[in-house]
Structure 1
Amino acid sequence: METLLNVSLPFFGLIFIGYGAGRTRLITPQAYLGLNAFVIWFALPALLFIKMSQAPVFEAFDPRFVAAYTGGGLIAYGTVAGLSRLLFPQLAWGQRAVQAMGASFGNVGFMGLPILVTLFGDAAVLPAVLVIVFDHIVLIPLTTGIIEGSASGHTSVWMIFRKVCTGMARNPLILSTFGGLLWGLTGLHLPVPVDALLKLLSDSAAPCALFALGLTLVGRPLSHGLEQVTLTTIGKLAVHPLMVWMLAAYVLKLDPFLTAVAVIQASMPTAANVYILATTYHTFVERTSSAILVSTVVATVTVSAFMVLFTAY
């Protein structure tokens, strides 16, 4: 209960303050687009660069951790895609792919990373960042490939591969992660003014990201297709973390700390990245928007529960 009060309520409280600011029009849609851009292009990249440049990556890297998290995500992805085919035969495979991504691609950057750093300190940075990286390099290419293949039988594998690589090469979170890693390998210290600037930006990442997340929830419609939204939400908030838990604790037998990080990251609600991909391909857009809203609201309970369960590691 102490964890719930000291960590969960402030984080989710900041999300709903942002929602209230947008709902009451204290901050306009044009203004929160700017805040989102600040978080994605400046604050979070600065945080990731600093943390990765200081992290003992090669000493601490555990492939079993990556396998547990990524494997759990792929199981959730496949489970939701399979159930969607059974329950909603009218959907195209591209739509099912977006729905499945919504059940396996969580808000691990805006929410997961700040929460884990607050809970466990810098020890959680490397595994938390690994989750961010592998979500991007596994789930985005997988979903993009299925959408492209579903849309046109004439799309070549090379064209899909080139489009995926181009998108990743422009992703500021991926670039800052690998940039920090490479800088850390040099063993050099950042110039003092640069280090101070990056720390100012990184300190703003958590509050701005959570506030911006609340703003993005304003105006998301709970339109038709609530059955499909419900499947996505259950997949994300229940199937995904439970599959990661089983793999981490009972199959790969990770230590309790890494198990806690993996499960808490997996318990995060559907990320806005899924909505961005859906809008890019004009596929499953309204229901993805609804899934983000519903999963984020329900996550105030489920994420808090997972935090309470796993902070006593």
Structure 2
Amino acid sequence: MVTMLSTIAPMFVVILVGFAAGFISRFRQATSHLNVFLFYFALPAFIYTAMVTAPPLEGFPLAALIIPLVVTPVLSVGLYYLCRVLGEQSRQGAAPASLAGTFGNVGYFGIPISISVIGPEAGLAAGVIHMIHNAFYMNGYPLVRTAVNTRAQSAGQPRGFRSFARRQLWPVLRRAILFNPVFSAMLLALILVLTERRMPELFDEPAAMLGETAVPLALFCVGLALHPAIDGIRSGGVPISPIAVGTAVKLLILPLLTWAAVLPFYDQLGPVWAGTLIILAATPSSTTVFLFSEEYDGDGRLAAAILVTSTGLSLITLPLIAEFMRI
């Protein structure tokens, strides 16, 4: 437990530094610029480097691809309907609770923690699982909420599917996949790993240099992001029940169900894939949940509350889960 805490605790110190910096206006104003640099340069470079430099794994087990595409969506849907029976306020926040309770911070938290706990061989596994996880959420939630909002706005006057797809769905897919630098970096790395090829050193070395800035900058940005999240909570009107349920699902239920799903396939997965799946499932809510909820639900306060709560409590739950994996 102490060893795992000593591995993970420095990351939370960087988050606290970012949170402290958020009290200064110049840093709050720079948040969007830091996030742009992180998303378009540092994080893609870090994931690419982690994947191409990771020790080779014995193939890509099919179970590692199926488990996150089954367990996480099923739990997300279950959380949505659970919130709908918890009362009127919870019913209204069912969609953001289902998002924040299952969409983990697998990029900023999951990949570096997986490498720290399991070793550099986890870089490739974490990159592949991250690609699957983000492809699902970065497309799934915007598509579902866009469809729901469009249907509500039509007031019984359905529009043609072609027009809906062109004006609403295609921009989501284009932004989430075609023009997503993280997805492109992971795809390039995966191609190189599968074909056993390498990019020139003139490409790899600058990518590695940029990637070295990703983890501290990402954690710093998480700390900055807590300020608008807390401001949203302070505005009031956030029900307690979905916060508690969403946080419990994200930090406990999702990793527990992932562990249960991993057990029957452990011989196929091996310790690296199995451990990476569980660690990524145990990460706190992604900072993207606040942005998505603001954009597609019109109110990001509930998602922000789950983001703040899960991030704080993960300082306890992540070392416990990491220690459990070592038993």
Match of 2:298 among 283, 295, 307: 283
Secondary structure at the aligned position of 1:271 is classed as: coil
Match of 2:242 among 224, 228, 244: 228
State the partner residue of 1:179: 188
Match of 1:108 among 106, 109, 117: 106
Q: After TM superposition, list the pairs within 5 Å mapping 1:178-257 onto structure 2.
A: 178-184=187-193, 187-221=196-230, 222=233, 223-225=236-238, 226-250=240-264, 254-257=269-272
The one-letter code of the counterpart of 2:27 is T
Contact 1:98 1:143 in 2 (8 A): no
5+ residue gaps, structure 2: 152-157
Deviations 1:101-140 (A, max 9, x none): 2111100000110111122222111221122111122233
What CA distance in whole angstroms lies between the structure 1 residues aligned with 2:57 and 2:265? 23
What CA distance in whole angstroms lies between the structure 2 residues aligned with 1:303 and 1:187? 34
State the partner residue of 1:80: 79
Q: After TM superposition, list the pairs within 5 Å mapping 1:1-313 onto structure 2.
A: 1-23=1-23, 25=24, 28-54=27-53, 59-89=58-88, 95-153=93-151, 154=158, 156=161, 158-159=165-166, 161-168=169-176, 169-184=178-193, 187-221=196-230, 222=233, 223-225=236-238, 226-250=240-264, 254-310=269-325, 312=326
Secondary structure at the aligned position of 1:61 is classed as: coil
TM-score by length of 2: 0.85
The one-letter code of the counterpart of 1:302 is T
What CA distance in whole angstroms lies between the structure 2 residues aligned with 1:101 and 1:26? 30
What CA distance in whole angstroms lies between the structure 2 residues aligned with 1:150 and 1:90? 19
- Superposed displacement of residue 90, structure 1: 5.6
What CA distance in whole angstroms lies between the structure 1 residues aligned with 2:190 and 2:299? 36
The one-letter code of the counterpart of 2:257 is M
Provide closer, same or farther for how the CA distance between residues 189 and 246 of structure 1 changes in structure 2, counting only shifts above 3 A. closer
- Superposed displacement of residue 22, structure 1: 1.7
The one-letter code of the counterpart of 2:237 is H
What CA distance in whole angstroms lies between the structure 1 residues aligned with 2:253 and 2:22? 31
The one-letter code of the counterpart of 2:175 is G
What CA distance in whole angstroms lies between the structure 2 residues aligned with 1:191 and 1:301? 42
Secondary structure at the aligned position of 2:119 is classed as: helix
Contact 1:22 1:28 in 2 (8 A): yes
What CA distance in whole angstroms lies between the structure 2 residues aligned with 1:90 and 1:146? 21
| Identical-pair percentage | 24
What CA distance in whole angstroms lies between the structure 2 residues aligned with 1:21 and 1:84? 35
Provide closer, same or farther for how the CA distance between residues 151 and 75 of structure 1 changes in structure 2, counting only shifts above 3 A. same
Larger deviation: 152-161 or 292-301? 152-161
Contact 2:68 2:133 in 1 (8 A): no
What CA distance in whole angstroms lies between the structure 2 residues aligned with 1:105 and 1:118? 21
Contact 2:101 2:306 in 1 (8 A): no
Provide closer, same or farther for how the CA distance between residues 89 and 26 of structure 1 changes in structure 2, counting only shifts above 3 A. closer
- Superposed displacement of residue 248, structure 1: 0.7
Provide closer, same or farther for how the CA distance between residues 181 and 250 of structure 1 changes in structure 2, counting only shifts above 3 A. closer
5+ residue gaps, structure 1: none
Contact 1:68 1:252 in 2 (8 A): no
- Superposed displacement of residue 8, structure 1: 1.6
- Superposed displacement of residue 281, structure 1: 2.0
The one-letter code of the counterpart of 1:296 is T
Provide closer, same or farther for how the CA distance between residues 285 and 50 of structure 1 changes in structure 2, counting only shifts above 3 A. same
The one-letter code of the counterpart of 2:85 is L
Contact 1:102 1:270 in 2 (8 A): yes
- Superposed displacement of residue 44, structure 1: 0.7
Q: CA RMSD in A?
A: 2.6
Contact 2:128 2:186 in 1 (8 A): no
TM-score by length of 1: 0.88
Contact 1:269 1:292 in 2 (8 A): yes
Secondary structure at the aligned position of 1:133 is classed as: helix
